[in-house]
């Protein structure tokens, strides 16, 4: 059974953890990243940051984006290699207000550096 993971914060650390899961072959085998919470939910922006990381170099994965529903203004889902879909959700001031339970998340990776308790 896959552990359902949520990532709170998709800055350098959140993206590195996500890329590491993909590169180690863990995504879809050990983990399913259900959602990423960040201030921005613009999947096109994060797709660019994942693909063209100035420190990690260009990522050789196929990174595309799509909308989770037709009524979305912008793409809010990142698709890796045409098979791994990760939804972006709006960050909240309090992590307790994020809908992790509703999304079925088992574990949350705190990658903002803000919440230490």
CATH number of 3-110: 3.40.50.720
Q: What is the pLDDT of residues 64-102, one digit of tens each?
A: 999 999 998 899 999 999 999 999 999 998 888 999 999
CB 111 within 8 A of CB 14: yes
The pLDDT assigned to 52 comes to: 93
Q: What is the pLDDT of residues 9-47, one digit of tens each?
A: 999 999 999 999 999 999 999 999 999 999 998 999 999
The pLDDT assigned to 47 comes to: 95
The pLDDT assigned to 114 comes to: 79
pLDDT band at 117 (very low <50, low <70, confident <90, very high): low
Break the chain into its structural domains and give their ranges: 3-110
Question: DSSP letters along 72-114, please?
Answer: -SS--EEEETTTEEEEEEE--SSGGGS-TTTTT-SEEEE-SSS
């Amino acid at each position: 059974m896959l552990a359902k993971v949520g990532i709170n914060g998709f800055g350098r650390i959140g993206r590195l953890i996500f890329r590491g899961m993909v590169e180690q072959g863990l995504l879809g085998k050990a983990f399913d990243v259900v959602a990423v919470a960040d201030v921005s939910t613009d999947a096109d922006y994060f797709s660019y940051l994942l693909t063209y990381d100035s420190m990690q170099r260009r990522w050789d994965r196929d990174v595309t984006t799509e909308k989770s529903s037709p009524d979305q203004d912008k793409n809010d889902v990142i698709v890796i290699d045409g098979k791994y879909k990760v939804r972006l959700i709006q960050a909240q001031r309090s992590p307790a207000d994020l809908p992790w339970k509703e999304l079925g998340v088992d574990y949350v990776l705190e990658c903002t550096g803000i919440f230490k308790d």
